[in-house]
Amino acid sequence: MSSTVVSPARLGKKSIGALGVLALSLGALQTVVEPALPLLQRELGISPAQGALVANALLVTGAVIAPVAGKLGDRYGGRRVLVWLMALVSAGGLLAAVAPNLPMLLLGQVLQGVMVGALPLSFILVRRHLSTGESQAAIGVVVALFTGGGMVGTLIAGPIASALSWHGMFAVPTIVIIATTVLVIRWMPPDPPALSQDRIDWPGVALLSATLLVFMLALAVVPGSGLPPLAIGAVVVVVAALATGWVLVERRTASPMVDLRMLAVPATRNAYVLTFFITVSSGMVLFLLPQLFAVRGDGYGFAAGTTTIGLFLLPGAIAGAVSDSVGGIAARRFGPRAVVVVGAVVTAATLISLASLHDEAWQLVLAKVLTAFAAGAGTTALLAGTATAVEARDTGIATSLLVVTRVIGVALGAQVAGALLGASGDRPAESAFVTGFVVAGLVAASALLVVRMTRGAQA
């Protein structure tokens, strides 16, 4: 595969600012549904299970589209593909803003889910227009603003719904996205695509997309569905068969979607494994803490309402947004492995302590701040390190697979935590929360074992 070697124009402040605002507004659109699910269930007359489907539709689409977007960005240029995706996101946001029923709202959420592909495309742009050190810092800022946008979405959902109706929750961020996309078109210099005579590996695209789609749908639907073990086993077999088929296709294709030799490089492979452990632990915390705030048991829990829970979680959301920018800078100065080690130690110690110290709200708030900061810094450091460790033409696919790993890890962690709580009945027992915190801490500590075992291979 050959590529042109062109010296692209450097990104100016306007270009970086446009990318940042776009990331912020995308993060806001992504999270407006979370605090508004009870409202949507009442307004649309849908069940909690259908409400969960609304929340998961965007996540499922995001996991499927991210690697495809990254590969297309590597091939045709990040700016061009980013604009294509933003057109789909805008259409989805506007559709959700006028949706009269559940099917149309779900379709809007599915279209909005392609926003996850914006992250690897942004990484392509900063990688091609900035130096290595500047790219790592810029990636941290973009991820931080995306995370910060999620915090903004959580906070504005209620006020906008009260002032305009729930449709306005989707309309306002979408309008900002449309306006910012126009600025990206105007201010962002085009990045030269990688010229190649090879065809796009569409069978590989289809198989990877199908594998992720079935896996994410299984995570969203199978737990609590009451399916017999044989049916669940069949789902596992289907996922394994699709994944195996994808690997076989990639190994035999002259121009694969994912060059599996890239996954064989220790630095890249270790980044995926470490990201997985970090995000599984993080996903468990994301699920457990709101549940403990909401429950009222004999000597445990706080019986907090939605607004109060949001306020309790706000410091952690702020810490997560700050940590993303810190992670990129720290990766530049100390290296991703050092950031991961510190984050894993902090997370494991915090969660093991939380297993015995969880009878005051401030203890949970502090635990959320520490774990959110550690997880955000660690995963962003790995993203920044990977983006600058691979060939420039592979930046999109390498980072998009890391984004997918983050999505899968968080979803899997939440499902594990939900299973632990669900096993103790309708009202989770205190012992179930204790077990959950211990397991999450041990998963975080597993990252230390990975670092130890892979010493000498830079992550």
**What does the pLDDT read at residue 424?**
72
| Distant-in-sequence, close-in-space partners of 125: CB < 8 Å, separation ≥ 6 | 11, 19, 78, 79, 82, 188, 191
317 with 170, same domain? Answer: no
- Alpha carbon distance 219, 52 (integer Å): 12
User: Is 249 found in the same domain as 191?
Assistant: no
| Domain assignment present for 313 | yes
Closest CA to 309 of 319, 287, 294: 294
pLDDT of residue 365: 93
Domain identity same for 171 and 129: yes
Q: How confident is the model at residue 354 (pLDDT cuts 50, 70, 90)?
A: very high
**pLDDT (0 to 100) of residue 3:** 44
**Does residue 3 belong to any structural domain of this protein?**
no
Same domain, yes or no: 286 and 364:
yes
- The closest of 358, 354, 376 to 442, measured between CA atoms, is 354
pLDDT confidence of residue 133: 67
Give the tens place of pLDDT for each residue, 177-229.
999 899 888 887 777 666 555 566 778 778 877 887 777 667 666 665 566 77
Considering its fold, how many domains does the chain have in total? 3
Give me the chain's average pLDDT, please.
Answer: 80
The one-letter code for the residue type at 34 is: E
Burial of residue 233, with CB atoms counted within 10 A of its CB: 0-12 exposed, 13-18 middle, 19 or more buried: exposed
Q: What is the pLDDT of residue 227?
A: 66
Query: Is there a domain that residue 8 lies in?
Result: no
Question: Could you tell me if residue 2 is inside a domain?
Answer: no
317-353 residue pLDDT tens: 888 878 877 877 787 788 888 888 998 999 999 999 9
Closest CA to 189 of 328, 325, 7: 7
Mean pLDDT in residue range 243-252: 86
153-187 b/e with 16+ CB inside 10 Å = b?
A: bbbbbbebbeeeebbbbbbbbbebbbebbebbeeb
The CATH number linked to 181 is 1.20.1250.20
pTM greater than 0.85 = no
Mark whether 349 and 427 lie in a shared domain: yes
Residue 458 covered by a domain: no
Distance CA 215, CA 152 (A): 30
> Are 227 and 350 found together in one domain?
no
Query: Shortest CA distance to 382 belongs to which of 343, 444, 327?
Result: 327
Q: Considering only CA atoms, which of 396, 4, 2, 397 is closest in space to residue 197?
A: 2
Residue 301 bridge partners (DSSP): 296
Above 60 in pLDDT, residue 8? no
Mean local confidence (pLDDT), 92-108: 89
Would you say residue 25 lies in a domain?
Answer: yes
Domain that holds residue 39: 13-196
Encoded tokens for 244: 């195996």
76 and 192 co-located in one domain? yes
Co-location of 391 and 447 in the same domain: yes
Please give the structure tokens belonging to residue 305: 């309402």
How far is residue 336's CA from residue 425's CA, in Å, rounded to a whole number? 41
Residue ending a domain, among 169, 196, 223, is 196
Domain C-terminal end among 174, 196, 218: 196
| Co-location of 192 and 209 in the same domain | no
* 44 and 110 share one domain: yes
**Residues 276, 188 share a domain:** no
The span from the CA of 408 to the CA of 355, in Å, is: 25
Q: Is 117 helix (H, G, I), strand (E, B) or coil?
A: helix
Q: Identify whether residues 143 and 210 lie together within a single domain.
A: no
The three-state secondary structure class of 361 is helix
| Most confident region among 263-267, 298-302, 345-349 by mean pLDDT | 345-349
Tokens of 426: 């309708």
Of 219, 240, 256, the last residue of a domain is: 256
Residue 295 lies in a domain: yes
Higher-pLDDT residue of 11 and 246 is 246
> Over the stretch 14-57, which tens digit does the pLDDT of each residue have?
777 788 888 888 888 887 877 676 677 778 887 655 665 676 67
Tell me, yes or no, whether 386 lies in a domain: yes
